[in-house]
Chain A
């Protein structure tokens, strides 16, 4: 859905009052390249998801100026940062303006005494840590998309950090931020009015509200982040098991051990191991009796990580683990950011290699429910596979969320042969996603622990998950964004308005 030519001219003329020409992109390739994210996408319907134009602001004022214009002219706005979100948050559903904040990537203030850094939200964690490393510090938001996702997108999705059991996730690590509301007003979000306060009890706690909203409540432009000493030691043992049950019990015991340097534990199931066997360099030199894997990760000083490691090794041994050795353990953990999105792993059932996109469905599930959820999820994907090679089961892993192991990020990875997607295949897939989300809810889980849940399929069940809470979302949306200009169509929030579309 795009806007009429005359309106587009009016819009561009208005934007020129706040931006230079070079910051306003209207060409077809500029628009096509800002219409997609890595999650599989019905390529045959690409043209339905284009913005009318994209802008590249460099300051909070410019962002506010653009939003004000969009608000006055009732034009949709879609914030885009790294464009790596997996739930289509940054994909425009109603045309309008993509506000691409990648140029806001400066380190503005490094406060070594209070251990904070203030950055433009277009910076990547990788680049930020290159700067911080010189001061012996680091910012431990470590998604698997660490080399490509950016701070603003982390706020927009309130995502998951692979070492979150030790350092917390994005929501714990971002202290505060400047935020442009859907009306174009600028506010500061955080505990209290200061930029560097980690805990206050003044007023409502708004920080969570303005994180993880997938760009439906405005745009974060500048953020102040919590810093930690760069860890001296990292220990990441990988253990093999000849059956899932032992591995499952082991991961629970590791997480419950209460070791202070513990940063996370992961369980890879039988399907994941079979998937990884598809190439030589992963875990594969492992004999065929390896059916499940567990990894634990510790970060800290040398003299605290080592004894803690001994304890975890003991626990693992008691659960029938076989240690895979330093080389595999260190190598596999080091490859944690690159192990995803390897289209060459796509296979038809008969074994032909075809380029496939990586898709993951994630949920937050209590420890005790993991086995039955994973069984039900694999069955949903098996059903797709029985019908077509467009889908491939790339296995599951589950990852401790908090340091007590109460719940787990539970993810099933599905390969999708995107070249072959058509309306029928897409419909099958959307239905499968809905079923996957329904399984999570039936186990009192949450539809997403990580990426959000605003995409076709799972989004249908968000009102069921939140109940009365969902109506509060609608109330807030209507109040803060009276004309539904911020990322319209996401999270079914059109229901907050009589007319639906803006």
Chain B
């Protein structure tokens, strides 16, 4: 029989113990330390040093895991297979900057390659496995935003982002990537004939893409609200929410835009903002509170959630059957960033006639349209490849329609859908149709039928 002597000597480190427990022997904490020292912070830190001081431990949490469990869910990685453009690389670069090995000039261009979908954050074992206990979430999206901001602050620009933000500044709206005329005068054109008031306690905020390009979406939303007897108005002078500028690192511009919108809401007595675009939802629930603190006391309400509730309460009853074989695309900023995935499914299940092949939300962590985080501005070819891969997954389900709930995803998804003969429809449009509403508006900036 094997000898099983497991009794060690009396030294407290030679027996198993749980560090930090009150009943541990004092000698443990009193043992001499030969190596570990507190990190010395420079007295007058450079912008890079400020960034690395803020993100040092968070980045080490990833660096020291370094396994890249997140890799196969990263949309950019899926299509490029380039390890420099993965969540770990984004953290590792911060460690390298902290060690003086890399500079912001070296790394800035790599940080373009992120749609800020948040899949990596969820897939990371540091979030998944120990996150709840330590209240820790890997925050790759924030790291990417912070590094992009440092780049802009340091005068390192990406050419397309720079001119795009300059144009947004000039137009007070995003140039929505095309030739569509954009200005303050036309920002409400989408609502022609709907007879909507301006201002009031509740206003509907319509993002630039929906206001100028996919106008069928806000029309559908407004008409459904009207049918349910839900009171709301349009914003007085609406500017871009500033979210995309913040995502690309143009923080001052983002804050100026936010300030304008907040002041405008105040001037029209607004207490509640209805949002149909998941990107705006992120801006208003994450960025604005950061900019304004307690001053930002408005209620932000997502339209998809309102509609699910109205259906539940029987105030909306979709009844016109829609004979389509569909699947649903979980927009990253709803599912992964905000945990909103049930309500859209509730709406789809309430629409008669649909043959719905669902893909569960966890599987969809690895799906993205490629339309977020400024990627289509700087690298349209990557956005197209990511959308194509999303449509390939839809095609495998033998559906004729892909439903999304995010106007920004719909343009690249629609383009990719043409190749596999799949129609891309917005969930609000689909609901309106089933409610017997003739929506009108355009799904492509009015560029032909």
Contact A37 B66, beta carbon cutoff 8 Å: yes
A window 316-343: CB within 8 A of B: 335, 337-343
* Residue in A closest to B66 when the chains form the complex, CB atoms: A38
Question: Among A42-50, A108-116, A182-190, which stretch is in contact with chain B?
Answer: A42-50
Contact B6 A245, beta carbon cutoff 8 Å: yes
A474 to chain B minimum Cβ distance, whole angstroms, is 32
| Residues on the B chain within 8 Å of A43, using CB | 63, 95, 99
Interface string of A10-41 (1 = CB under 8 A from B): 00000000000000010111101110111010
Chain B: residues with Cβ within 8 Å of the partner, total of 65
CA distance A290 to B66 in the complex (A): 32
B window 21-53: CB within 8 A of A: 21, 24, 28-29, 31-37, 39
Question: If A84-B68, A382-B13 touch, does A281 touch B106 (CB 8 Å cutoff)?
Answer: no
B31 to chain A minimum Cβ distance, whole angstroms, is 6
CA distance A350 to B18 in the complex (A): 9
Contact A358 B65, beta carbon cutoff 8 Å: yes
Contact A40 B64, beta carbon cutoff 8 Å: yes
User: Of the candidates B2, B5, B99, which one forms a contact with A44 in the assembled complex, judged by CB atoms under 8 Å apart?
Assistant: B99
Contact B110 A29, beta carbon cutoff 8 Å: yes
| Residues on the B chain within 8 Å of A355, using CB | 57, 60-61, 64
User: Of the candidates B29, B93, B129, which one forms a contact with A350 in the assembled complex, judged by CB atoms under 8 Å apart?
Assistant: B29
CA distance A355 to B37 in the complex (A): 14
CA distance A27 to B398 in the complex (A): 43
Interface size bracket, A side: 35 or more
Q: State whether the Cβ of A244 lies closer than 8 Å to any Cβ in chain B.
A: yes
Contact B129 A29, beta carbon cutoff 8 Å: no
Contact B65 A343, beta carbon cutoff 8 Å: yes
CA distance A389 to B36 in the complex (A): 7
User: Of the candidates A270, A368, A395, A424, which one forms a contact with B34 in the assembled complex, judged by CB atoms under 8 Å apart?
Assistant: A424
A393 to chain B minimum Cβ distance, whole angstroms, is 8
User: Of the candidates B33, B64, B129, B136, which one forms a contact with A388 in the assembled complex, judged by CB atoms under 8 Å apart?
Assistant: B33
Question: Among B76-84, B155-163, B169-177, which stretch is in contact with chain A?
Answer: B76-84
Q: State whether the Cβ of A280 lies closer than 8 Å to any Cβ in chain B.
A: yes
User: Of the candidates B11, B35, B82, B92, which one forms a contact with A36 in the assembled complex, judged by CB atoms under 8 Å apart?
Assistant: B92
CA distance A349 to B16 in the complex (A): 11
A429 to chain B minimum Cβ distance, whole angstroms, is 11
Contact B129 A278, beta carbon cutoff 8 Å: no
Q: State whether the Cβ of B237 lies closer than 8 Å to any Cβ in chain A.
A: no
* Residue in B closest to A84 when the chains form the complex, CB atoms: B67
Q: State whether the Cβ of A364 lies closer than 8 Å to any Cβ in chain B.
A: no
Q: State whether the Cβ of B126 lies closer than 8 Å to any Cβ in chain A.
A: yes
Q: State whether the Cβ of A148 lies closer than 8 Å to any Cβ in chain B.
A: yes
Question: If A27-B106, A343-B60, A417-B36 touch, does A148 touch B129 (CB 8 Å cutoff)?
Answer: no
A382 to chain B minimum Cβ distance, whole angstroms, is 5
A window 430-489: CB within 8 A of B: none
CA distance A44 to B107 in the complex (A): 19
B window 7-24: CB within 8 A of A: 8, 11, 13-14, 16-21, 24
Contact A351 B21, beta carbon cutoff 8 Å: yes
* Residue in B closest to A359 when the chains form the complex, CB atoms: B64
Contact B84 A338, beta carbon cutoff 8 Å: no
Contact B92 A32, beta carbon cutoff 8 Å: yes
User: Of the candidates B29, B61, B69, B83, which one forms a contact with A34 in the assembled complex, judged by CB atoms under 8 Å apart?
Assistant: B83
B window 66-111: CB within 8 A of A: 66-69, 71-72, 81-84, 88-89, 92-93, 95-96, 99, 101-102, 106-107, 110
B112 to chain A minimum Cβ distance, whole angstroms, is 12
Q: Which residues from chain A sit less than 8 Å from chain B, CB to CB?
A: 25, 27-30, 32-34, 36-38, 40, 43-44, 46-47, 56, 82-84, 100, 102-103, 105, 122, 124, 126-127, 145, 147-148, 244-245, 248, 270-271, 273-274, 277-281, 335, 337-345, 347-353, 355-358, 368, 371-372, 375, 378-379, 382, 385-390, 392-393, 395, 416-420, 422, 424-425
Q: Which residues from chain B sit less than 8 Å from chain A, CB to CB?
A: 2-6, 8, 11, 13-14, 16-21, 24, 28-29, 31-37, 39, 56-57, 60-61, 63-69, 71-72, 81-84, 88-89, 92-93, 95-96, 99, 101-102, 106-107, 110, 123, 125-126, 128-130, 132-134, 136
> What would 6 more interface pairs be, CB under 8 Å, given A56-B81, A148-B67?
A147-B71, A279-B133, A335-B129, A344-B134, A348-B36, A395-B16
